Structure 1
């Protein structure tokens, strides 16, 4: 089968070579010490060695690249985990042209979201226009309001620095919290609180995307992966840090059943145990000792929440304690059934801020993150990371530790900027070094790095090479 898009894809392995230039890194490796005995024979040795990225097709022709990638992914795989970030929702130049003709928008990077916020504030990139106000008439919102309000000057000044949206939101949020603790309920504090709500609404709005199979690759991606995997494999599991519902919409178009932790009765409420349920062919259940599983079923775990998840306080009519009293403040997470005018406090989303690590340990995020940790420990697992920047330290550390502890875990990272790059007009100019957000991999032992494959590719181009032909051989 022809390997489409191969000219846009490159794959690398990280190797270490002895280097005497004085610029090398200290790398730990496990080697046999001839002067030691017993358990000490295998000892950890520190060497001065320099990391190099070696193309996997260096000694092969480009047609072999696709089969090399597919074999690495599928050979011996029993459990497949997909972890996606914003890169899976962001459109390439070609996709943007198609989307523009159809009036469809793609996902935004954090820097693009920051520009949207700046637009709302009337701040031009790199300089202050002097307007110094949140003017909703100029905001990227479809619904325009007439009123505007001023923000404290020290907050406005943050937008003229090199701070990203996550850092700015963290500072503003902490500013409000500190003043609340000091019982300093000033007008400025209230304006900052209102600003936070507006940014949350903006993020939710910009992440509300309409799926089109000619623009987005999510449906094709799911179908190709499922077509290759055997029923003997565990269910395909998608973990995503994205708020959008592109995977849900794509699965619906492809007639793929999604197990997402929510009940199938209304109102749809979250319960972690629903991930342990499955779909079987009922006619065969009574005849066969082992039931036949329904094809095309996936698990979807939204680590940072979703635009269609809401907190709901409901009376619990059931006796939920030995005393038999009714809990009138039980907080549930429900899906759908709420409009865009809902209060931002009801949105079940971990927003970009330093507090996101703390939120990970609250309901329902703790249950979702625990599932991710558990999957990484399973035998013969392959983790494919697509468009994820590794900005979340707890997720990055979980993957790093799993690579050290689970000797059968394979890691594939798909990103258009695997190599250290300089951004120029939205394009990547490559260097010969690993991009900074992936350099944590250089701390792995050499035998652990043999289970890592780095694929420089957009999500769309990666999907094009996933034919799966001869992948299991």
Structure 2
């Protein structure tokens, strides 16, 4: 793991032997400790999570969350399976028909580009072609849904749980942590449930939770018999920028509801049209909250596993860097150096951040590492609470009982 800041002489410094006090190791270790300590102690802590935070989820050594390339391969494989079971008239195969209607090469490797062109083509082609293209799009989107619905009871979320313990247990005088994620999966929600954290995700409590953005203005307090109140521990806000596999649009009421196991999830699928789609409900409320969070003074944004390919998300971050002088930014990405230079992974935003760092902007830190790498380095500034100790004891009882069976 390496880090680049204004103090590393325009070089990538190895993060080796870092301790929470920042005294061990060289300049890289000290800079990592300094920026991460500043992040968890900031008045306002915001997290932006991308695909990289889900790639660590494994079962038996096998990674469960798919990459974009793997999603593309699964879509193609499903088309091949359907061709064998129900051939199209004229001997055409589905993938050729799909890419031809979208006017892209059959060997195109960018799933976002293919789906975007395919969606656009449904509005331009004749009725006969449009019907087929819509069916193929529905198949592709069904594959994406099944691929990201990978959590089960036996799947460990230790890295997510450790992350929440380190960033979400803040003193009550500080603002609650806000985690914004582009992921459709439920890793953070499930990890929070297993660890006894309370998640404020914008859905009102009830037998069928409905989305209400006012929920993000509420908090949870504890009242004792003497009518004194205090804020409950272990609570964070979770805002899903591109929807979730358990969200659904209720056609009767026009409201967004949470329904586990729905086959009609409200998602912004990986298409280049995400910019336009992200400004319909409920995304407009969540995007507004994201932009507002970055404008608050004394805010630190920690970006993990997000490649800055979505312009509607990257632009507010760049605007905060430009205009909010008390805004701090830590970007964690395993290939961040490649994203800062010309090549297939290049990001103009990360190149700009790197130039600011090299010009002496001390508010920014670029870290080359994974979600798994960075979590152990985040200082745990709050000791374990009695509630957390209780959950640990109960978990041990359950584990021991299962081992005896």
- TM-score normalised by structure 2 residue count: 0.81
| Alignment correspondent of 2:254 | 331
- Residue 367 of structure 2, aligned match among 455, 466, 472: 455
Going by fraction, where is helix more abundant, 1 or 2?
2
| Alignment correspondent of 2:185 | 244
| Alignment correspondent of 2:145 | 204
Alignment of 1:129-144 (within 5 A): 135-136=81-82
Question: Deviations for 1:294-346, whole angstroms, at most 9, x for unmatched residues?
Answer: 000010000000000000022xxxxxxxxxxxxxxx41100015543x4xxxx
Alpha-carbon distance change, 65 to 447 in structure 1, aligned in 2, over 3 angstroms: closer
Instruction: Answer yes or no: is the 8 Å Cα contact 2:69–2:111 preserved in 1.
Output: yes
- Residue 270 of structure 2, aligned match among 352, 377, 387: 352
When structure 1 is superposed on structure 2, of 357-366 and 444-453 the one drifting more is 444-453
CA distance in 1, matches of 2:295, 2:354: 21
Confirm or deny that 1:100 pairs with 2:49. no
SS at match of 1:168: helix
| Alignment correspondent of 1:231 | 172
Going by fraction, where is strand more abundant, 1 or 2?
1
Q: Residue 414 of structure 1: CA displacement?
A: 0.8
| Alignment correspondent of 1:47 | none
Q: Residue 109 of structure 1: CA displacement?
A: 1.3
SS at match of 1:90: coil
CA distance in 2, matches of 1:434, 1:381: 32
| Alignment correspondent of 1:436 | 346
Instruction: Answer yes or no: is the 8 Å Cα contact 1:14–1:54 preserved in 2.
Output: no
Q: Residue 65 of structure 1: CA displacement?
A: 4.6
CA distance in 2, matches of 1:354, 1:294: 41
SS at match of 1:281: strand
| Alignment correspondent of 1:79 | 44
Instruction: Answer yes or no: is the 8 Å Cα contact 1:280–1:293 preserved in 2.
Output: yes
Confirm or deny that 1:282 pairs with 2:223. yes
| Alignment correspondent of 2:121 | 175
SS at match of 1:449: coil
Instruction: Answer yes or no: is the 8 Å Cα contact 1:258–1:298 preserved in 2.
Output: yes
Q: Residue 362 of structure 1: CA displacement?
A: 0.5
Alpha-carbon distance change, 12 to 66 in structure 1, aligned in 2, over 3 angstroms: same
| Alignment correspondent of 1:268 | 209
Q: Residue 230 of structure 1: CA displacement?
A: 2.1
Alpha-carbon distance change, 304 to 213 in structure 1, aligned in 2, over 3 angstroms: same
Alpha-carbon distance change, 66 to 106 in structure 1, aligned in 2, over 3 angstroms: farther
SS at match of 1:209: coil
Alignment of 1:148-159 (within 5 A): 148-149=87-88, 150-151=93-94, 153=96, 155-156=98-99, 158=104
Instruction: Answer yes or no: is the 8 Å Cα contact 1:73–1:382 preserved in 2.
Output: no
| Alignment correspondent of 1:385 | 303
SS at match of 1:397: helix
| Alignment correspondent of 1:310 | 248
| Alignment correspondent of 1:62 | 25
Alpha-carbon distance change, 294 to 172 in structure 1, aligned in 2, over 3 angstroms: same
Q: Residue 434 of structure 1: CA displacement?
A: 12
Alpha-carbon distance change, 167 to 434 in structure 1, aligned in 2, over 3 angstroms: closer
Alignment of 1:355-366 (within 5 A): 355-366=273-284
Question: Deviations for 1:178-200, whole angstroms, at most 9, x for unmatched residues?
Answer: 23xxxx311x2211100111111
- Residue 160 of structure 2, aligned match among 179, 198, 218: 218
Q: Residue 214 of structure 1: CA displacement?
A: 4.0
| Alignment correspondent of 2:377 | 465
Question: Deviations for 1:73-101, whole angstroms, at most 9, x for unmatched residues?
Answer: 3335111111011111013xxx75xx236
Alpha-carbon distance change, 293 to 215 in structure 1, aligned in 2, over 3 angstroms: closer
CA distance in 2, matches of 1:385, 1:404: 17
Structure 1 residue ranges without an equivalent (≥5): 1-8, 18-51, 123-134, 139-145, 315-329, 422-429
Structure 2 residue ranges without an equivalent (≥5): 17-21, 383-405
Instruction: Answer yes or no: is the 8 Å Cα contact 2:334–2:369 preserved in 1.
Output: yes
Q: Residue 159 of structure 1: CA displacement?
A: 5.5
CA distance in 1, matches of 2:182, 2:256: 18
- TM-score normalised by structure 1 residue count: 0.70
Instruction: Answer yes or no: is the 8 Å Cα contact 1:218–1:250 preserved in 2.
Output: yes
